[in-house]
Amino acid sequence: MEWIDALKYDPNGLIPAIIQDAATGQVLMVAYMNRESLRRTVETGLCTYWSRSRQQFWVKGETSGHVQHVKRILVDCDADAVLIQVEQVGVACHTGHRSCFYREAQGDALVEVEPILVEPESVYGRS
């Protein structure tokens, strides 16, 4: 997959991945990928990311069952970000919200504007 090597990765070998619901257009989350996680994503059809905090690969939904089936991968004009359109099974956010973008800036505050759909403890055993 020559196009994967042609992308512009940051000094840590990472590229931001914006994850979007293919059916609704809702942005679900942002994560990071490296060449190998992007290759695994293409080969398996499941979003695989690089965890900067744990320094390891993680397949979205591997433990929760809330997987992301890849429908389409788009690359931005500078080749330094990818947009991955997915079919989201369950919720995308570890907080139990459909999207990680569930808070809206309203004046001086962040206000939750999306409901919790799944109790995090029931999926991850913690909140």
Tell me whether residue 127 is in a domain: no
What pLDDT digit, counting tens, does each position of 28-75 carry?
999 999 999 999 999 999 999 999 999 999 999 998 999 999 999 999
Tell me whether residue 24 is in a domain: yes
Segment 101-113 mean pLDDT: 98
Predicted local distance difference test score (pLDDT) of residue 37: 98
Tell me whether residue 37 is in a domain: yes
DSSP state of 59: E
Predicted local distance difference test score (pLDDT) of residue 35: 98
Average pLDDT, the chain: 95
Spatial distance between the Cα atoms of 62 and 24, rounded to a whole number of angstroms: 23
> Total structural domains in the chain?
1
Segment 97-119 mean pLDDT: 96
Beta strands in the chain (DSSP E): 15-21, 27-33, 48-51, 56-59, 68-75, 82-88, 103-106, 109-112
pLDDT band at residue 126, thresholds of 50, 70 and 90? low
Structural domain harbouring 100: 2-116
Which strands make up the sheet holding 82-88, listed edge to edge?
27-33, 15-21, 82-88, 68-75
pTM to 2 decimal places = 0.92
Tell me whether residue 75 is in a domain: yes
**What is the domain-level CATH number for residue 6?**
3.10.20.810
Does the pLDDT value for residue 114 go beyond 80? yes
Predicted local distance difference test score (pLDDT) of residue 122: 77
